[in-house]
């Protein structure tokens, strides 16, 4: 007599989403959580931006879809699309991403306001001084990593170092897609349930993609905060950058987080002037010093 195998308990899209987000957190932490954090994270900016950040406590973070270099967004999506294309050859009766392409994952950023703030664990990156700190005439604001992490956690804003290793990037995405498939097999066989789960899984996939960057830029040692809120409303005020980009104001600059100001190698401003600005804005114990290298060196 043939014994029937017990069928897995079918779950709703809501339960599948919760299971996917919970279990994928372990994958996220394994590849992206930094055990030995640097003591400082630096935000390169010009003097005008520094004055604004210090005097208001607000740092502007930029809409991912309006960043100058869109290759940073495209890079991770293309890796995911390649893996998805491979998985389409699978004979599995259900694969949650068989209808998803690079455009679909990018659509997540159009449906939500997804904004990025950039930091680096290094002060010795010449093109960062050149591009973001007015050719070395600006500053690098040094934030205490632990304090900044605590601030972000209190507001459920992720702060992580980018992953530059291509082999690890592919492993991360493959593990996530495998998990999404395994959970998807347990969905109730209803179109609305499948569609809802695919939407949730696509959002989660897109958050993973935001932490991937080409190995060509590994010297930047970049960290990011990722602030996401709905198109209408939300906790953070929207502002328009002079270049036309949409930004959020994040109130992350305070005496606990900001611990250092490094004056750029081409900046002729006197250190006492910077200290006076800090003191007048309530920052009394911030170290002020000059950059350790010329802006033209790596």
Contacts of 178 (CB under 8 A, 6+ apart): none
Output phi, psi for 288, to 5 deg. -120, 125
- The Cα–Cα gap between 138 and 29 comes to 34
Domain for residue 75, yes or no? yes
Q: What percent of the chain has pLDDT over 70?
A: 81
DSSP line for 234-275: -SS-EEE-TTS-EEEEE---STTTEEEEEE-TT----HHHHH
Q: Give yes or no for a contact between 115 and 61, defined as CB atoms under 8 angstroms apart.
A: yes
Strands 287-290 and 258-263: parallel
pLDDT tens string 95-142: 555 555 555 555 665 666 777 889 999 998 898 999 999 999 999 999
pLDDT tens string 161-207: 999 999 999 999 999 988 988 888 888 878 888 888 888 888 888 88
Q: How many structural domains does the chain have?
A: 1
Amino acid 106: pLDDT: 59
Domain for residue 87, yes or no? yes
What is the pLDDT confidence band of residue 76, given thresholds at 50, 70 and 90?
Answer: confident
Amino acid 216: pLDDT: 93
Total residues found in the chain within this entry: 298
- The Cα–Cα gap between 5 and 208 comes to 35
Which residues constitute the domain of residue 146?
A: 13-290
What distances in angstroms separate CA 251 from CA 53, 59, 177, 202, 257, one per listed residue? 9, 6, 35, 29, 11
Domain for residue 8, yes or no? no
Closest by alpha carbon to 250, among 104, 23, 56, 71? 56
């Amino acid at each position: 007599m043939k014994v029937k195998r017990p069928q897995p308990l079918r779950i709703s899209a809501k339960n599948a989403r919760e299971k996917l987000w919970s279990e994928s957190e372990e994958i996220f932490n394994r590849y992206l959580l930094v055990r030995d954090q640097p003591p400082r994270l630096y935000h390169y900016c010009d003097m005008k931006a520094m004055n604004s950040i210090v005097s208001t406590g607000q740092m502007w973070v930029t809409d991912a879809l309006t960043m100058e270099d869109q290759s940073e967004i495209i890079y991770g999506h293309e890796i995911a699309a390649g893996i998805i294309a491979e998985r389409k050859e699978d004979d599995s009766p259900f694969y949650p991403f068989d209808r998803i392409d690079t455009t679909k994952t990018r659509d997540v950023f159009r449906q939500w306001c997804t904004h990025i703030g950039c930091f680096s664990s290094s002060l010795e990156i010449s093109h960062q001084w050149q591009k973001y700190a007015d050719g070395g005439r600006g500053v690098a604001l040094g934030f205490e990593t632990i304090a900044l992490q605590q601030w972000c956690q209190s507001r459920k804003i992720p702060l992580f170092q980018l992953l530059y290793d291509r082999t690890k990037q592919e492993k991360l995405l493959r593990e996530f897609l495998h998990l999404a498939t395994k959970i998807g097999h347990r969905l109730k066989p209803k179109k609305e349930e499948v569609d809802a789960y695919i939407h949730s899984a696509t959002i989660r996939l897109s958050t993973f993609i935001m932490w991937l960057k080409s190995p060509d830029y590994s010297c930047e040692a970049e960290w990011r905060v990722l602030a996401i809120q709905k198109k209408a409303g939300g906790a953070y005020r929207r502002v328009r950058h002079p270049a036309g980009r949409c930004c959020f104001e994040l109130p992350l600059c305070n005496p606990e987080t900001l611990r250092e100001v490094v004056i750029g190698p081409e900046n002729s401003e006197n250190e006492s002037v910077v200290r006076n600005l800090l003191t007048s804005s309530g920052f009394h114990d911030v170290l002020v010093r000059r950059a350790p290298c010329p802006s033209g060196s790596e």
